Amino acid sequence: MTQSLILHRRGLLMGAGAFALSACSPETSEAGEGQYAASPYRRVSDADWRRRLGDASWRVMRHEGTECPYSSPLNDQHARGIFVCKGCDLPLFRSQWKFDSHTGWPSFYDIIAANIGKKRDLAIGIPRTEYHCVRCLGHQGHVFDDGPRPTGLRYCNNGVALKFVSA
């Protein structure tokens, strides 16, 4: 092969690689993001969040951790009400949207869309969609496309990131 052909192929490969990497940039949901940009919850220090939330919730909500499956008492919460963000009490899910996904985490097939933000997550090497509270930016979980009707979605939430408020 000639030198110019090798350089041309290398240039094409590098361009394709750069294009592929650009597809990995965070994709953020527009819903509610601008409305809460000046929220005082976004100015809380990491140390203050740890004091407010406790270690388990802090690890999940502020450092995108995951609680152990089947450890949340919210798995067995079946009363009528609303599930709110543990960090700022913003309503995220209605109780009628909850279902047993047999995964060990509270799961919902729908959201209060204006209160949920989303971004692409490549932390485990597989593209996933992470979702969070738009007011305090607290990590909640990941959404998958293996849920029930009518949406076909499964919002797999960490129980330590939620509080339940009965109707």
Quote the pLDDT of residue 112: 98
- Rounded to two decimals, the pTM is 0.80
**What span, in angstroms and rounded, lies between the C-alpha atoms of 94 and 141?**
16
Over residues 1-39, the pLDDT tens digits come to 555 544 444 444 444 443 343 344 344 444 566 788 899
Active site annotation includes 24: no
Average pLDDT over residues 43-51: 97
First to last CA, the chain: 73
- From the candidates 88, 133, 136, 156, give the one annotated as an active-site residue: 156
Over residues 129-154, the pLDDT tens digits come to 999 999 999 999 999 999 999 999 99
Q: What ranges in the chain are assigned the alpha helix state H? A: 3-22, 46-53, 55-63
